[in-house]
Amino acid sequence: MREVFEVRDQDGAGRVGELTVPRADATVRTPALLPVVNPNLPTVDPSRLPEFGAQALITNSYIIHGNEGLRERALDEGLHEMLGFDGPIMTDSGSFQLAEYGEIDVDTPEILRFQRDVGADVGTPVDIPTPPDADRETAARELRETTDRLAVAEETDTGEMLVTAPVQGSTHPDLRTEAARDAYATDLDVFPVGAVVPLLNDYRYDDVVEAVAAAKRGLGADAPVHLFGAGHPMTFALAAAAGCDLFDSAAYALYARDGRYLTVRGTKHLDDLTEFPCACPVCTSHAPDDLRAADEDERTRLLAEHNLNASFAEIRRVREAIVEGRLFDLVEARARGHPRLLDGYRALLDHADWLEASDPASKDTFFYLSAESARRPEVARHRDRLARLVVPDELCLDATGTRDDAWPVVPPFGPVPPALRETYPVNAETPRRVDGDAQVAAARGVAALAAAHPDAALTLVHDGWPARALAALPDAVTVEEQDS
């Protein structure tokens, strides 16, 4: 791959970065959202997209290629002129149509040359979007075909245009990782995780996270990752925390056409709203009744504008949370918006070892906000570090917060040398009413310390830990209960 992406800030696997797009002579600050523009009937005039925060857009070269009028105009004027948009334009290839209708009438060299000729800044080969749950043999066979097409894309003269290398593999994580390794080994530039739209449509956010995590394991840290078809703002924080840098949204327009109103906590229907819970220009200058009374085109346009405002506000929030080191707090908040998002967050935490590898050693205060917080990578890291500390021959571990002569035991981290008590992450903000999951995690920290120091005599003093936390302690630790 060429070097077009620079990571500026990192939180978990999430990053704020800068994608350089040479042909547009522009950079894109990521995570970024690219609105999908339907070349036949743009719902919002593309020239207005920067008002909402769009730095780049995506359109479909296959649709343009297949329509004589559009094709001639695009070849004649170029895409930027035709759409009235100066910034970077990414084009998709028709692979999605391939998945929907079984065949298309262009191949990779032809569509890439067409994308180049109409002035696309980022082009896409004709990958095969193998749907979720495909049997392994089918997924592997189609993946070989996609990999061959990426080789063809490398050989095609695409000029300065960046070219994507989609990562397929259906719901087989090892195939995704292999696909990602092969894609990363090409000289292609941007790495979309493909064929996740059916998963997103079915709210299978845990499977989306597995697909992204598997792809990320095969890609270098300098690879910009696009999540193809992820356009609902409730998913951005989670997908960014899994390491996605680019999103595209057709949802803002498709949902608007059905009277649907996007929020970070889910979708609402215009018919059900008595007030708009949003401070965007559309929502502060209209009431739901106004939109219901408007004609269809006006209503669709206004809903699409709100949907864009809500989407870009969330993208800005995600970027800021990464810079602040508070992305996990945002993901936890979003995970409370829908139980399936909570599945996605829990799936992400299953990869705590991998998240830990990229998580900064120090950031803003750790907030313990839910039982899931006990599984964050910072907790695993503290536990790993305990094994490397020197401990006295006899040591009292105090979970009651009352003893000066002991190492405090801080839920969810576990034992902490007194000198480190005020350092990140153990200076965490935790609720005063500690829950059992935090105590179980703290007990695991005690167990890790005991395992690394078998010759030390450890005593734990607690004030009413639940049985399941005590059960996580090894026999070698003496336990004393103190009345609270």
Q: Which stretch, 190-198, 318-326, 327-335, 409-417, contacts ligand GUN (CB under 6 A)? A: 190-198
Which of the listed partners (ligand GUN, Zn ion, none) does 116 bind, with a CB threshold of 5 to 8 Å by partner kind?
none
92 binds ligand GUN (CB under 6 A): yes
Q: What do you get for the CA distance between the two ends of the chain, in Å?
A: 60
Determine if 236 is a binding residue for ligand GUN (CB under 6 A). no
CB closest to ligand GUN, residue no: 194
Nearer to Zn ion, 196 or 315 (CB): 315
Closest contact distance (angstroms) between CB of 283 and Zn ion is 3
Q: Shortest distance, CB of residue 130 to ligand GUN, whole angstroms?
A: 8
Enumerate the active-site residues: 92
For the chain, give the secondary structure using H, E and C.
CCCCEEEEEEECCEEEEEEEEHHHCEEEEECEEEEEECCCCCCCCHHHHHHHCCCCEEEEHHHHHCCHHHHHHHHHHCHHHHHCCCCCEEEECCHHHHHHHCCCCCCHHHHHHHHHHCCCCEECCCCCCCCCCCCHHHHHHHHHHHHHHHHHHHHCCCCCCEEECCECCCCCHHHHHHHHHHHHCCCCCEEEECCCHHHHHCCCHHHHHHHHHHHHHCCCCCCCEEECCCCCHHHHHHHHHCCCCEEEECHHHHHHHCCEEEECCEEEEHHHCCCCCCCCHHHHHCCHHHHHHCCHHHHHHHHHHHHHHHHHHHHHHHHHHHHHCCHHHHHHHHHCCCHHHHHHHHHHHCCHHHHHHHCCCCCCCCECCCHHHHHCHHHHHHHHHHCCCCCCCEEEEECCCCCCCCEEEECCCEECCHHHCCCCCCCCECCCCCCHHHHHHHHHHHHHHHHHCCCCEEEEEECCCCHHHHCCCCCCCEEEECCC
Residue closer to Zn ion, measured from CB, 65 or 306: 306
Residues 6+ apart with CB under 8 A from 186: 1, 150, 151, 153, 154, 165
Site string for Zn ion, 238-277 (x = CB under 5 A): ----------------------------------------
Selected from 224, 229, 344, 445, the binder of ligand GUN by CB under 6 A is 229
- Binding range to ligand GUN, per CB under 6 A, among 20-28, 93-101, 440-448, 453-461: 93-101
Query: Considering beta carbons, is residue 66 or 288 the nearer one to ligand GUN?
Result: 66
Q: Which one of residues 63, 98, 280, 389 is an interface residue with Zn ion (CB under 5 A)?
A: 280
- Considering the rule CB under 6 A, would residue 411 count as an interface residue with ligand GUN? no
Contact window for ligand GUN (CB under 6 A) among 7-15, 48-56, 193-201, 470-478: 193-201
Q: How many residues bind ligand GUN (CB under 6 A)?
A: 13
Closest to ligand GUN by CB, 166 vs 414, is 166
Show the binding pattern over residues 116-145: x = contacts ligand GUN (CB under 6 A), - = does not.
--------x--x-x----------------
Stretch that binds ligand GUN, among 4-12, 89-97, 203-211, 464-472 (CB under 6 A): 89-97
Which member of 30, 61, 91, 93 binds ligand GUN (CB under 6 A)?
93
**212 lines the binding site for ligand GUN (CB under 6 A):** no
Determine the Cα–Cα distance for residues 225 and 32; give it in Å rounded to an integer.
11
Q: Is 283 in the site for Zn ion (CB under 5 A)?
A: yes
Q: Which does 363 bind (CB under 5 to 8 A by kind): Zn ion, ligand GUN, none?
A: none
Closer residue to Zn ion (CB): 76 or 289: 289
215, amino acid identity: A
Beta carbon of residue 290, minimum distance to ligand GUN (angstroms, whole number): 34
Mark the segment that binds ligand GUN (CB under 6 A) among 134-142, 194-202, 303-311, 349-357. 194-202
**Looking only at residues 300 through 339 of this chain, which bind Zn ion when binding is defined by CB under 5 A?**
306
What is the binding site for ligand GUN (CB under 6 A)? 92-93, 95-96, 124, 127, 129, 166, 194-195, 197, 228-229
What is the binding site for Zn ion (CB under 5 A)? 278, 280, 282-283, 306
